[in-house]
Amino acid sequence: MPVIHPTAIIHGRAVIGSGVAVGPYCVIGADVHVADGCEFLSHVVVDGRTRIGEGCRIHSFAVVGQPPQDMKYDGEPSELVVGARTVIREHATLHPGTERGGMVTRVGNDCLLMATTHVAHDCQIGNHVVMANNATLGGHVRVGDHAIIGGLSAVHQYVRIGPHAMIGGMSGVERDVIPYGSVMGNRAHLSGLNTVGMKRRGIGHDEIHVIRQAYRMLFESEGTFADRLAEVAEFYTDNERVIEIVRFIREATQRSICTP
């Protein structure tokens, strides 16, 4: 059975799973679905068509599922979906999608959104993503698995952050960041590979060495970038991680990619 503080306000239509703890002065709206084992500390607001996955923990004064800060939003029944075991810290804000962006904002499993982070409408965030304090994502941003968004950084709308990428603190990111890449600065430039992150994820020394070689071919060799990309794709055709980078670059649509 859920454990609900007497000062909490929960709409009668809200769906609350078993073992959920709702602390003092929390407010949960009519169209909210909360899976089993979640914990809401004091003064949490969850509203809109929002689904919170199993075992999530939401800290004080977070606002989850309120209407997006998009002038074109017109009350369409869009959604926010938060995956299992994700932790949302104090004063974070997460908004649902819009009609122009696919109607849903998603946050994956096992993410950590630190204090005062912001996830705008229509963002698609993978699993095991960390957003440090005050990091902000504009609308329609896509973030791959295991990416880290450094504190006080801002990611422009429609930017893609590849899996295992690292965004340095206080960076302004206007262009796509390749998988395994590391960027920093205002405006952010590619400063190398996120080798620390790769080691933490169990990627071996030999594999990192291969990715580094491909990186040098892409960004430090002679010739046009298109020619270098084609050369890397041909030379490393059997390396899944390098081809992941090639595919990411070729799929660029809204923004260009960060370069050194």
- pLDDT, residue 241, reads 97
Residue 222 lies in a domain: yes
Active site residue 238: no
Q: Could you tell me if residue 186 is inside a domain?
A: no
User: Do the domain assignments include residue 105?
Assistant: yes
Shared domain for 214 and 122, answered yes or no, is no
Under the banding of pLDDT at 50, 70 and 90, the label for residue 164 is very high
Model pLDDT, residue 245: 97
Tell me which of 99, 118, 140 is where a domain ends. Answer: 140
Q: Is residue 173 part of a domain?
A: no
CATH code at position 87: 2.160.10.10
Q: What percent of the chain has pLDDT over 90?
A: 97
pLDDT digits (tens, 9 = 90+) for 199-215: 999 999 999 999 999 99
- Tens of pLDDT, residue by residue over 85-96, are 999 999 999 999
Across residues 115-128, what is the average pLDDT?
Answer: 98
Same domain as 207, residue 132 = no
Mean pLDDT along residues 29-37: 98
Beta bridge mates, 87: 57, 112
130 with 215, same domain: the answer is no
Residue 84 neighbours by CB distance under 10 Å = 18
**pLDDT for 53-86, tens place per residue?**
999 999 999 999 999 999 999 999 999 999 999 9
257 belongs to a structural domain: no
Do residue 10 and residue 131 come from a single domain? yes
Angstrom CA distances, 233 to 203, 207, 247, 248, stand at 21, 16, 9, 12
pLDDT at 80: 98
Q: Decide if 97 is catalytic.
A: no
Say if 16 falls within a structural domain: yes
User: Are residue 123 and residue 30 in the same domain, yes or no?
Assistant: yes
Q: The domain containing residue 20 runs over which residues? A: 3-140
In whole angstroms, give the CA distance from residue 191 to residue 120. Answer: 26
- pLDDT at position 43 is 98
Angle, CA 238 vertex, CA 234 and CA 240 arms, to 5° = 110
DSSP conformation letters of the chain: --EE-TT-EE-TT-EE-TT-EE-TT-EE-TT-EE-TT-EE-TT-EE-SEEEE-TT-EE-TT-EESPPPS-TT------EEEE-TT-EE-TT-EE----GGGTSEEEE-TT-EE-TT-EE-TT-EE-SS-EE-TT-EE-TT-EE-TT-EE-TT-EE-TT-EE-TT-EE-TT-EE-SBB-TTEEEETBTTEEEEE-HHHHHHTT--HHHHHHHHHHHHHHHSSSS-HHHHHHHHHHHTTT-HHHHHHHHHHHT--SS-B---
Q: Which of 190, 198, 203 is nearest to 249 (CA)?
A: 190
Please tell me the predicted confidence (pLDDT) of residue 231: 96
Over the range 184-209, which residues count as b (16 or more CB within 10 Å of their CB) and which as e? beeebebbebbbebbeeeebeeeebe
* Number of compact structural domains in the chain: 2
pLDDT at 253: 79
Please indicate, yes or no, whether residues 38 and 109 belong to a single structural domain of this protein.
yes
Query: pLDDT confidence of 254, banded at 50, 70, 90?
Result: confident
Residue 7 sits in the same domain as residue 119: yes
* Domain end (from 140, 157, 186): 140
Predicted local distance difference test score (pLDDT) of residue 115: 98
Would 117 be classed as within a structural domain?
A: yes
Active-site annotation holder among 118, 121, 140, 164? 121
Smallest CA-to-CA distance from 40 within 61, 15, 13 is with 61
Residue 206 falls in the annotated catalytic set: no
State pLDDT tens for residues 14-28. 999 999 999 999 999
Do 12 and 94 belong to one domain?
A: yes
State the catalytic residue, choosing from 47, 70, 110, 122. Answer: 122
Catalytic residue among 23, 48, 139, 181: 139
Cβ(241)–Cβ(179) below 8 Å: yes
Query: Are both 134 and 219 inside the same structural domain?
Result: no
- Same domain assignment for residues 44 and 133: yes
Residue 170 has a pLDDT of 98
Whole-angstrom Cα distance, residue 131 to residue 118? 9
Same domain (yes/no): 51, 129: yes
The pLDDT value recorded for residue 94 is 99
Single pTM value for the model: 0.96
Instruction: Give the model confidence (pLDDT) of 215-240 as tens digits.
Output: 999 998 889 999 999 999 999 999 99
Structure-block tokens of residue 134: 């005050």
| Rounded Cα gap, residues 248 and 143, in angstroms | 12
Distance CA 260, CA 258 (A): 7
Identify whether 157 is part of a domain. no
